[in-house]
Amino acid sequence: GHGRQVAQWARVLPAAGRVDAEAWPGCQTLGVIDSLRQVGDKPGQWERRCYISSRKLSAEALAQAARAHWGIEN
C-alpha cells in the first residue's frame, strides 16, 4: 500500500561445509533475501538481508518467515 511496490528474491544453501560448525552449532541453512522497494516515482532502493537458521528451509519458507517477521516489526 501507500504507493509502495516491493519485489524480493530469496536464495538458500545448505550450511554444511560452508560455516564453522563449532562457531554455529546446529546451523542448517544459509539464506539471502534481496529486495527492491519503490515508492511512487522515486528511484528504487535495494536491500540485502542475510540469514542463518537451525532449520532446513526452502527459499519460499525463508521468504515467508522474513515477511512474517517484518510484518510484526512494522
Question: What string of pLDDT tens digits covers the 74 residues of the chain?
Answer: 568 898 999 999 999 999 999 999 999 999 999 999 999 888 999 999 999 999 999 999 999 988 886 654 44
Beta carbons of 15 and 30 less than 8 angstroms apart: yes
Residue whose C-alpha is closest to residue 35's, from 24, 47, 52: 47
The DSSP string of 8-71 is EEEEEEE-TTTS-TTTSTT--EEEEEEEEEEETTSPPEEEEEEEEESS---HHHHHHHHHHHHH
Structural domain spans, the chain: 4-65
User: Cα(21)–Cα(26) distance, rounded to whole angstroms?
Assistant: 7
Q: What is the pTM of this model?
A: 0.77
